[in-house]
Copies of this chain bind each other. A is one copy, B any other.
Amino acid sequence: MTQPNLARSWVASANGHPDFPLQNLPLGIFSQQGSAPRSGVAIGEHIFDLQAALDAGLFDGAAKRAVEATRGGQLNAFFELGRGARQALRQRLLELFGENSSLRGRIEAEGARLLPLAADCVMHLPAKIGDYTDFYVGIEHAQNVGKLFRPDNPLLPNYKHVPIGYHGRASTVRPSGTDVMRPKGQTLPAGQTEPVFGPCARLDYELELGIWIGQGNAMGDSIAIGDAAEHIAGYCLLNDWSARDVQAWEYQPLGPFLSKSFITSVSPWVVTAEALEPFRKAQPARPAGDPQPLPYLLDQHDQEAGAFDIELEVLLQTEAMREQQLPPQRLTLSNTRHMYWTVAQMVAHHSVNGCQLQAGDLFGSGTLSGPEAGQFGSLLEITEGGKKPVELPSGEIRRFLEDGDEIILRARCRREGFASIGFGECRGRVLPAR
């Protein structure tokens, strides 16, 4: 169905760009030298200023209406327009930036519309987040963590029936680059019965796929799994920073709370479903003995093309590594194929009780670990809860994150005959507790 696509752009830096070739065209919200946040599209090393392009008359029809909906420094109204508007905009952007575009002259003539990405542009959250939900669909992570907490019973009986999720904190979702202040909280020292209060001593990252919700549903309505694609606006990377010592003490019986709510970082570019289309996969066959999903979670198209092949990477750079000019060290190389449930299944499950989803809601997939060493999406798993420290090129070791450590998430989609695309980075540096 998806045709091979290696088309090139007249924007030279787009061709072969690891994240933002012509085939990606992710949307985001940026500001420049303190200007009001506005919408743009990443292409190569540039941001295409949508508002300026709109003012210059480069859009009409459905694409124009789509760009108009990106006004106001947030993409919620654009997300709400749904798939048709998004596809119309993409089609127009492909025309504008294709190698042989007759419009190159018009865009170049007004160079201010193609801004250097790296220079003085600051990225913001792409949307105002109504609610943030964190799922737990990474089955290898669920098993790895389950083993630490419940050696005899790593995976709970509901896991293979229910796309487990829980409500997260929307107010502290922040774009890549926001510093991560080490949180304080209650923890129970090993072997003690009385908790103590102080800075988190087991600060961790979690490698997740983020999902931006498009069109919402009315309270009381459910989104059928076959309609889920209408309700998904795009994707990002998400770091679900976690205070493991706080989490272990607080999480029963109602789940994680302050161990997660101090910050959640996302990559700022919204990678669209259209850009990811070539990297869709059939869901892997469930292992023998696994139950079939209940009918509301089952859809033939979703079975055949609901999974993604996206390579996910985590890198760490410590203060000492920066001083020694050592590059970031890879901690994790994983893939979205370790999701036991698809994004469409998450959407269908979340709304099956009539819960209202709204444009700009954010989902996290849950930590996406692989089964092997090198594929674990958190230090909790890599170090087995701190027992097996990681050695770094600087000669340091890490059980959990130290002040000054920076975590960088990246994603890459590769397929023969298709331009590779990426998500841009999701970075955060740990600051000492105040």
**Contact surface of A with B, Cβ cutoff 8 Å:** 130-131, 134, 136, 146, 149, 156-158, 161-162, 164-172, 174, 181, 183-186, 188, 193-197, 219-220, 222, 243, 246, 249-259, 261-263, 291, 294-296, 349-350, 352-358, 361, 434
Residue of B nearest to A195 (CB): B161
Could you tell me the distance in whole angstroms from the C-beta of A147 to the nearest C-beta in chain B?
13
State A165–B261 Cα separation when bound (angstroms): 12
* Complex partner residue of A167 from B158, B167, B174, B181, CB under 8 angstroms: B167
Query: Would you mind naming 17 contact pairs between A and B with Cβ atoms under 8 Å apart?
Result: A131-B169, A156-B252, A157-B193, A162-B186, A162-B195, A166-B255, A167-B168, A167-B169, A171-B361, A183-B354, A184-B352, A197-B294, A246-B353, A251-B253, A253-B255, A254-B256, A255-B256
Q: Are A171 and B353 in touch, CB under 8 angstroms? A: no
Q: Are A219 and B172 in touch, CB under 8 angstroms? A: yes
State A193–B294 Cα separation when bound (angstroms): 14
State A325–B108 Cα separation when bound (angstroms): 77
Q: A171-B131, A250-B162 are in contact. Are A197 and B355 (CB under 8 A)?
A: no
* Complex partner residue of A197 from B220, B258, B295, CB under 8 angstroms: B295
Given contacts A164-B254, A171-B358, A172-B356, 5 further A-B contacts (CB under 8 A): A157-B193, A162-B250, A164-B250, A166-B167, A251-B253
Q: Are A262 and B354 in touch, CB under 8 angstroms? A: yes
Could you tell me the distance in whole angstroms from the C-beta of A264 to the nearest C-beta in chain B?
11
Could you say which residues of chain B place their CB within 8 Å of the CB of A136?
254
Q: Are B186 and A161 in touch, CB under 8 angstroms? A: yes
Residue of B nearest to A128 (CB): B130
Q: Are B157 and A263 in touch, CB under 8 angstroms? A: no
| Central interface residue in A164, A253, A361, by most chain B CB within 10 Å | A253
Q: Are B261 and A353 in touch, CB under 8 angstroms? A: yes
Q: Are A357 and B171 in touch, CB under 8 angstroms? A: yes
Could you tell me the distance in whole angstroms from the C-beta of A208 to the nearest C-beta in chain B?
14
Could you say which residues of chain B place their CB within 8 Å of the CB of A194?
161, 291
